[in-house]
Amino acid sequence: MNLSLSTLTSANTPLTLNHSAAQVGIVHLGFGAFHRAHQALITDTYMQEFGGNWKIVGVTWGSSDLPQKMAQQDNLYTVGVGYNDTLNVQLISAIEEILTSTQTDQVFAYMCSPDVKIVSLTITEKGYCHHPATGDLDLNHPFIQHDLADPTHPQSAVGFLVEALNIRRQKDIAPFTPLTCDNLPENGHVLEKVVLQFAQARDPELHQWIKNHIQFPCTMVDRIVPRTTENDINRVEQVLGLRDEACVVTEPFLQWVVEDKFVNDRPLWENTSIANIEVTDNVLPFEEMKLRLLNGTHSSMAYLGYLSGYQTIAETIRDPKFKYFIRRMMDDTITPAVHIQGVDLDDYKSQLIERYENTALQHRTWQIAMDGSQKVPQRFLQTMRYGLDHHVDLSPLYLALAGWIRYVSGIDEQHQAIDVQDPLRDEFAAIWEQHKDQPQAIVNAFVHLDSVFSPEFARDNTFIESLTGALETIMTLGSKQAVYQWVSTHKN
């Protein structure tokens, strides 16, 4: 039996439906697994505890079948919170409906409704259509070119935001707060910059109005939510007694730090009974800690783990040498580049390792390895910039960065194809095709990819030599042995 309004009473665990009478207050662009287990769940709890009209309309991009799946389930879904062998399932009823980005009229009807106070986003790094190394909007991006030519049928999230704000301005409707929840440093500033540059290219007056009236809060979001697998759906069904095609399986940990800078109402999420939600004046130290320590080591395990034959993060960290390598990377290389007061970083790092070890999550190294060109700048390079300026031992991160370069060659260490998913996939393949087994030439070509590497890296001999050395080691020994060798020379 499938989950829906009419089957709720047949569930194994009692499920209560909460907010059927509430109105929509939030539009969320990029309705994926992460949002379902994070902001939507938190907002659901908020409405349970305090009421309010904060139902969410989700918008998906691409050929996702989630809108149909959710519609078949009356827009209900469940979140399975898993820790090793235990799984607890929670019903979420905060979703009004899911649209696709091609349903332009319906999306704008919601985005321009006076009841909608927040438009939040999890569109992934590449959804910002910007150059990661500079933060500038990529005016040559096909979506952006399309949206400048035809602003009322946008393809990009930026195009949707600017047109909706434009309509609200013309109709004198109070604006919404654009709330980015993506893993980008200073994500609010990144969004602000691309929105303003897009508006400027469209209409300088609109640009000025947005500049004067809109605020873009920064946020730090954290919860590990792998893409849902068939296995997850089956496990949730076992617990629930109902089949939920839209479920997500996540970990117990959750954190959300939000900058207090809203131009319209918002739910007071921080007042819910959920721990680790904070509204503050300064999110940047939290972002820095999370992006560098968590996402930096996640991506390191993704590339080096995948190449070592490990399918998941839990499998990678179960290798004691990898565990040692990752912890030393955190302690010696990344921590000097983290500046936060009032957080016990030792606890934070130990907790990260425990989170990685959670076998309830099948978080594939391949999934995290995706879109490296969009992730490497904030996950590796900012830490490395700091380390180069402050004489920090960067050797573990050189291996990780070399692991990325090796991974995107598209051929693994057993000569099998790797399904590389990245906007720069063709550029990577061309570099490897041209320079084959010459680490120095490959590194030289990579550091000149200026949407990833800012120019100072291409001029830095220490950086280039160390990276070349790391790539040479990986190409000679293989990734696993490269990590093992690092461990044997660094273990005291």
Report the interface residues with ligand CS2, using CB under 6 A: 183, 222-224, 294-295, 298, 367-368
Closest separation in Å from C-beta 348 to ligand CS2: 13
Distances (CA, A) of 118 to 109, 112, 256: 14, 11, 16
Closest separation in Å from C-beta 183 to ligand CS2: 5
In this complex, which beta carbon is closest to ligand CS2, that of residue 34 or of residue 110? Answer: 34
Based on C-alpha coordinates, what's the Rg of the chain? 23
Asked if 215 and 263 count as a contact pair (C-beta separation under 8 A), the reply is yes
Distances (CA, A) of 184 to 144, 222, 405, 415: 20, 12, 21, 33
Closest separation in Å from C-beta 298 to ligand CS2: 4
In this complex, which beta carbon is closest to ligand CS2, that of residue 158 or of residue 294? Answer: 294
**Helices 479-490 and 320-328, interaxial angle, to 10°?**
60
Closest separation in Å from C-beta 252 to ligand CS2: 13
Closest separation in Å from C-beta 238 to ligand CS2: 25
Distances (CA, A) of 204 to 120, 136, 160, 210, 433: 25, 17, 17, 10, 45
Amino acid letter, 269? W
Closest separation in Å from C-beta 433 to ligand CS2: 27
Distance CA 170, CA 187 (A): 27
Residues of the chain by 3-state class (helix, strand, coil), percent to 5: 50, 15, 35
The H helix count followed by the E strand count for the chain is: 23, 11
Closest separation in Å from C-beta 120 to ligand CS2: 16
Name the DSSP letter for residue 156: S
In this complex, which beta carbon is closest to ligand CS2, that of residue 364 or of residue 480? Answer: 364
Closest separation in Å from C-beta 191 to ligand CS2: 17
To the nearest 10°, report the CA torsion of 239, 242, 247, 248.
Answer: 10
Please state the length of the chain.
Answer: 492
Backbone angles phi, psi at 319, to 5 degrees: -75, 115
In this complex, which beta carbon is closest to ligand CS2, that of residue 200 or of residue 255? Answer: 255
Distance CA 144, CA 225 (A): 29
In this complex, which beta carbon is closest to ligand CS2, that of residue 38 or of residue 55? Answer: 38
Closest separation in Å from C-beta 480 to ligand CS2: 21
Closest separation in Å from C-beta 113 to ligand CS2: 31
In this complex, which beta carbon is closest to ligand CS2, that of residue 183 or of residue 454? Answer: 183
Q: Which residue is nearest to ligand CS2 (CB)?
A: 298
Which pair of structure tokens corresponds to residue 259? 């900058």
Name the DSSP letter for residue 186: T
Distances (CA, A) of 429 to 23, 205, 331: 49, 43, 34
Asked if 243 and 237 count as a contact pair (C-beta separation under 8 A), the reply is yes
Closest separation in Å from C-beta 352 to ligand CS2: 10
In this complex, which beta carbon is closest to ligand CS2, that of residue 294 or of residue 314? Answer: 294
Name the DSSP letter for residue 56: E
Spatial CA neighbour of 27 closest among 90, 97, 132 = 97
Which pair of structure tokens corresponds to residue 404? 């990325």
In this complex, which beta carbon is closest to ligand CS2, that of residue 297 or of residue 454? Answer: 297
What 140-148 contacts at long range (C-beta under 8 Å, 24+ apart), as own/partner pairs, is 144/198, 147/198, 148/198, 148/201, 148/202
In this complex, which beta carbon is closest to ligand CS2, that of residue 3 or of residue 258? Answer: 258
Closest separation in Å from C-beta 311 to ligand CS2: 15
In this complex, which beta carbon is closest to ligand CS2, that of residue 235 or of residue 298? Answer: 298
In this complex, which beta carbon is closest to ligand CS2, that of residue 113 or of residue 187? Answer: 187
In this complex, which beta carbon is closest to ligand CS2, that of residue 29 or of residue 313? Answer: 313
**Helices 439-447 and 425-435, interaxial angle, to 10°?**
150
